[in-house]
Structure formats: C-alpha cells, structure tokens
Amino acid sequence: MPLARRRHARAATVLVLLAACLALPSCQKSPPSRTEFALGTVCTVNLYGKGSVKDYDAAFSRLREIEATMSASLETSDIGRINAAAGKEAVKAKPDTVKVLSFALETARASSGAFDPTVGPVVRLWGIGTDDERVPATAEIENALVLVNHERVALDAVSGLVYLEDAGMRLDLGAIAKGFAADEVAGILRERGISRAIIDLGGNILCMGTKAPGVPWSIGIRNPEISHGEPVLSIQASDCSVVTSGVYERYFEKDGKRYHHIIDPKTGRPSDGEVLSVTIIARESMTADALSTAAFVLGRKRGLALVATYPGAEAIFIDRDKRVFASDGIRKELKLLDPSYTLADWPEPTR
Ligand code: FAD
Ligand code: MG
C-alpha cells in the first residue's frame, strides 16, 4: 500500500477506535471520583481509579431513586404521599421505604423516642436549612409536639401500607435515609465487583475494604464548633461506616444563640446538652446514622448505653469542654490531631 494510503488507513483505524471508545464507557479513562448534589447535600463516591463511568452512574442513579422515594419535601415521594394522607388513609410504600421506616420505628422504641421519625411537624416549624428558618413561639411548638408520636404510625411490613393516625402528622427520614442510601450504593458497587471505595454522603462516610492491603482508611472527625472545620481527631477504619451528627451541620443564629437541626422530641427544640457531636462507627451505615442522631439527643451516658446494645457499634462523643469520649472498641484506633482537645476517661471523665 502506498505510504499516503497507509497513513489514511491508520488514521481511519484510530478514528474507528476513538468512536468505539466514546460508545463504550469501559474504554474511557476511569474517573478518580464523582461528586454530585443529592439528598439535599454534597455526595462523593471515590472508587480510586478502579471504577468505570457505568459504576459511578449506577451509584448516583440509586441515590436519585432513594431521594425521589424518601424526600419529605417532594409531594410525589412515598413520604410526601404518606404525609398528605395523614389521618385519612393508608398509603402503599415501596420496599425501600418500608425497610427504612421499620428500622426508624425500631430505633424510636429503643431510644424511648429520642429518635422519632414523626418529628416532621417540629422540623418544618423551625425550617432550619431553609429560607423560612425562625424561632417559633412556644404555643406553636406545643401544637406541633402533639403530632410527634412514633406509636401513631401503623406500618404493615407485608403489604407495605403506612398510615399516620392523626391529621397533620409528618414523617421525616432525614436522620436515617442517608445511611440507608450509603449501604445501598455499597451493595451496588459490590455487585459490580468493586471492593474498595469511599462513599461520602454529606459527611456520612462508608468505607469499603481497606486503603491498601493491610492498611486501614484514616477518617477525620471535624471540629464540632465550626462549619467546615478541620478534623480534630482521626480514626483508623475499614469495612465500616462512620457517621457524625453535630451542631455544626445545619443551624442558624439569632440574638447570639445557635439553633441547630437535631430536635429533642420531648421539648420540640434543638437538643441542648453538653454534647456537640456524636460519631458512630458501625458495619451498616443506616445503623450508624440512626444511632448518631439518637445518641446526640440522649446525651453521653444514655447514648452510650443505647449504642452498647448494638453489637459491633462504637461511639465517640465530643463535648463543650473539648473532651473526647470514645467507647472501648474504638479508643485505640483514635488519634487526636488538635492539642486543645483531650481524650477523657470513660465512662466518667477525670476533670
Ligand atoms: P442527622 O442527625 O442524621 O439528622 C438530622 C435530621 O433528621 C434533621 O435535619 C431532621 O430532618 C431530622 N431530625 C431532627 N431531629 C430528629 C430526631 N430527634 N429524630 C429523628 N429525626 C430527627 N435537605 C434539603 O435541604 N433539601 C432537600 O431537598 C433534601 N432532600 C433530602 C432527601 C432525603 C431522602 C434525605 C435523607 C435528606 C434530604 N435532605 C434535604 C436533608 C439533608 O440532607 C439533611 O441535612 C440530612 O438528612 C441531615 O442529616 P445529618 O447527617 O446532618 O443529621
Ligand atoms: Mg443520623
């Protein structure tokens, strides 16, 4: 073949290969990670160069599906439809919703109502994180609190029917559904042959596998006093979820006082104890998510007692005095990064 034609042929082959590569995502360079806004927060999946575009697509499409099913602010979601039918009729929910709601109700019972998925009317009243955030009047809080009662949720796990027994009740799965979503993404990645990843749903972390063979991941726990603060400590973790509930995540300030988004269902106000953040380490992210919120409201002693009833779950509490309390199973994996924090004795601190 003459040289000019050979060059043409080679160029054509390159073009064909390029076209094939554009059509086949497996030919594309593997992205290092992907970040998108979902579930009302910034979500990052990092497959450390091992995943394909299709793996990332599968992960984020599952996140969007869960958001469409469980968002409290979408009329068309299961939660939107259940809330709209409160006091009127039962609504058939998807298996995903049934699974999350069942665990939410179980956690509500186990925490004596410190965690309560029916806290929706109070959450809506405060509007924290929305354009309508404000300090409600005491009478408004009292009226909303009448509607907060997890025992007034009728759930038939077999038929999937959910009925809120009083008009005005509102489910809110904001304290648990991100955990479920992280578990689901991990399951999808595992099915696709991926064994090493970090799934970060707005600070709700799930680490799959280890950083390298025999080397655990190092996960930072943020300064609970400031938004986007630096980590004050880190823990070594592998194949588990690390979830933190804290006062810094969503809040507004009025007359010098901070009002954050974790509500004590007994008072209808932001839970106001010594604890500024609670981190739970557990195999399942849904467990870690539910327990972090429950333990935050319960406080250090009662919170730890609850966590101790979940095999394999560990807890780290940070309080207003910059003291870090870590349960036995995680204490040796913990490294203080900020010298102004101290690792306190457990269960009773030495002051
Ligand atoms: P967590 O401690 O895990 O949860 C706190 C949240 O749970 C509160 O914001 C409140 O909603 C609820 N809660 C408060 N007190 C209690 C209690 N005692 N018991 C039980 N629950 C309680 N945010 C948006 O701004 N826009 C959105 O469109 C949006 N969509 C979402 C869709 C889904 C499916 C989910 C799960 C969340 C969505 N969010 C949205 C919420 C947002 O991501 C929240 O900030 C997040 O869920 C709170 O999680 P956290 O880890 O910060 O705190
Ligand atoms: Mg939570």
Distance 350 CA to ligand 1 centre (A): 35
Distance 293 CA to ligand 2 centre (A): 4
Mean pLDDT of the chain: 90
Instruction: Kindly report, residue by residue over 12-30, the tens digit of the pLDDT.
Output: 333 333 333 333 444 456 7
Give the pLDDT confidence score for residue 283 in this predicted structure: 97
State the span(s) of the chain assigned CATH 3.10.520.10. Answer: 4-64+194-343
Q: Which long-range contacts (CB under 8 A, 24 or more apart) does 321-326 make?
A: 321/274, 323/349, 324/232, 324/233, 325/300, 325/349
For the domain 4-64+194-343, what is the CATH code?
3.10.520.10
Taking domain 68-164, whether its CATH number is 3.30.420.40 is answered by: no
Give the pLDDT confidence score for residue 5 in this predicted structure: 37
Atom of ligand 1 nearest to the CA of 117: 20
Give the pLDDT confidence score for residue 27 in this predicted structure: 43
Quote the pTM value: 0.91
State the span(s) of the chain assigned CATH 1.10.3980.10. Answer: 68-164
Give the pLDDT confidence score for residue 67 in this predicted structure: 98
Nearest CA to ligand 1 atom 51: 245
- What CA–CA distance (Å, rounded) separates 128 from 274? 21
Q: Give me the residues of the chain with pLDDT under 50, please.
A: 1-27, 349-351
Distance 63 CA to ligand 1 centre (A): 15
Give the pLDDT confidence score for residue 24 in this predicted structure: 40
Ligand 1 close to Cβ of residue 294 (< 6 A): no
